[in-house]
Amino acid sequence: MIKRIVKMTFKAENIEDFKALFNANRSHIAGFEGCSHVELLQDQSNPCIFFTYSNWENEASVENYRQSELFARVWSATKTLFNDKPEAWTIKEITFE
């Protein structure tokens, strides 16, 4: 399993629009093949900064999502609300025996 973190900074006047957009699509994203979890987080000190945190089966699952009509639709609406360039990380958990 891999985890995906995406940091997005929005214009203050677009925060509620983004939250509504995410809420309208989160069940579709969470239900996408290979996704087992998705959540939205907001920075405590800067309310314009949000993170999505999601769990995926593997990198191929993330890439399939990124090539989907769902992603194209959601991302095209989301990026019009940005105040800064988004950042994304694909990470894996380190386990110790």
- Per-residue confidence in pLDDT tens, the chain, 97 aa: 999 999 999 999 999 999 999 999 999 999 999 999 999 999 999 999 999 999 999 999 999 999 999 999 999 999 999 999 999 999 998 999 8
Sign of CA dihedral 28, 29, 33, 34: negative
Nearest in space to 30 (alpha carbons), one of 70, 90, 80? 70
So where are the chain's domains?
2-91
Dist CA 55 CA 68 (whole Å): 17
Q: For residue 46, which phi and psi values (nearest 5 degrees)?
A: -135, 100
CATH no. of 2-91: 3.30.70.100
Give the single-character DSSP code of 40: E
